[in-house]
Structure 1
Amino acid sequence: MFDVLVFVYEHYWRGDVCPELQQLERKLSAHGFDADEIHAALSWLDGLNFAAQHASADPGPREPAGAPGSMRIYSVAEQDHLGAECLGFISFLEGAGVLPPAMREIVVDRAMAAPGDPVALDELKIIVMMVYWSFGHEPDALVLDELCEPATGRLAH
């Protein structure tokens, strides 16, 4: 599924320029992706589109997740499915000010819809990129570097 998502991200620069799911399915099939992998990715993308549209439509002033000083408490199911590494990465992005609460909730929702127990950090990074993509935003260069470059081989300063 994640190979398909990466392909979609690389070939359609924003979510709103991506073809309808039926047309996208034909294009993905023509590029040689497995039918099961395509179906899983399209189902996941449909959920992403739904979440992004509803987040955009809802101004959210009553939403407590956006309140200054608020804290997100993860359920046991979320903790188990995301794992410590992914939860730490989400916290890092929030602390850096690059993952607002509404986008964080979509990241968590889409990560919960992803296979794997726990979700791998590389897969979570793809999910974060796809959430940015669905809003038509490109992460700034430092965030993009963090999302695309493997952490192995880096020296801490």
Structure 2
Amino acid sequence: MFDVLVYLFENYYTPDACPSTDVLTKRLVAAGFEHEDISDAIGWLYGLAETTEQSGELSDMSATSTRVYANFEQLHLGPEAIGFLCFLENSGAITPALREIVIDRAMATPDAPVSLEHFKIITLMVLWSQEAEVDHLVLEELLTDDGAKLLH
């Protein structure tokens, strides 16, 4: 699934540039992705769209809000992902509303705890879906994993 998400980020400037689901599926199959990975990625993206649509009420959150993680969130996300999310929020790269969308999408993955590499892809895809402005240094941090490029 994560390889499909990275492929979409690399090949489509904005989510609106993506073709319809049927056409996209055919292109992804032609690119060599497995049907299960494609299905998982498209389902994850639909969940992202639903979460984004429902996040209107989150826009009222104060920039100084504090997030307390439930035990099941701590176990699923893991300390690396939570630490990285705190870094992004403290650096101003994401708002509290975007933080909640990132958490929702990370919780929607089967990984537990979510690897830092996968968490960065999740965050990147949330920012991509929102067409958010991202500082170049933060973008570079999202695109690397201990010195190795995440993108192909």
TM normalised by structure 2 equals 0.90
RMSD over aligned Cα, in angstroms? 1.7
2:63–2:96 CA contact under 8 A, matched in 1: no
Alpha-carbon distance between aligned partners in 2 of 1:126 and 1:146, rounded to the nearest angstrom: 11
What's the secondary structure of 1:128's corresponding residue?
helix
Residue 75 of structure 1 and its aligned partner are, at CA, apart by 1.0
Which stretch of the first structure deviates more once superposed, 132-141 or 113-122?
A: 132-141
What residue in structure 1 maps to residue 70 of structure 2? Answer: 75
Do structure 1's residue 140 and structure 2's residue 135 form an aligned pair?
A: yes
1:14–1:133 CA contact under 8 A, matched in 2: yes
| Structure whose CA Rg is larger | 1
Amino acid at match of 1:28: L
Alpha-carbon distance between aligned partners in 2 of 1:23 and 1:76, rounded to the nearest angstrom: 41
Specify every segment of 5 or more residues in structure 1 that has no aligned partner in the other structure, as ranges.
none
2:62–2:96 CA contact under 8 A, matched in 1: no
1:14–1:137 CA contact under 8 A, matched in 2: no
What residue in structure 1 maps to residue 107 of structure 2? Answer: 112
Q: How many residues are aligned here?
A: 148
Specify every segment of 5 or more residues in structure 2 that has no aligned partner in the other structure, as ranges.
none
What residue in structure 1 maps to residue 94 of structure 2? Answer: 99
| Distance 1:5-1:83 versus aligned 2 partners, 3 A rule | same
2:12–2:18 CA contact under 8 A, matched in 1: yes
What residue in structure 1 maps to residue 24 of structure 2? Answer: 24
| Distance 1:98-1:105 versus aligned 2 partners, 3 A rule | same
Q: Identity of aligned pairs, percent?
A: 45
1:16–1:136 CA contact under 8 A, matched in 2: no
Alpha-carbon distance between aligned partners in 2 of 1:152 and 1:24, rounded to the nearest angstrom: 31
Alpha-carbon distance between aligned partners in 2 of 1:68 and 1:10, rounded to the nearest angstrom: 31
Residue 137 of structure 1 and its aligned partner are, at CA, apart by 2.3
| Distance 1:52-1:85 versus aligned 2 partners, 3 A rule | same
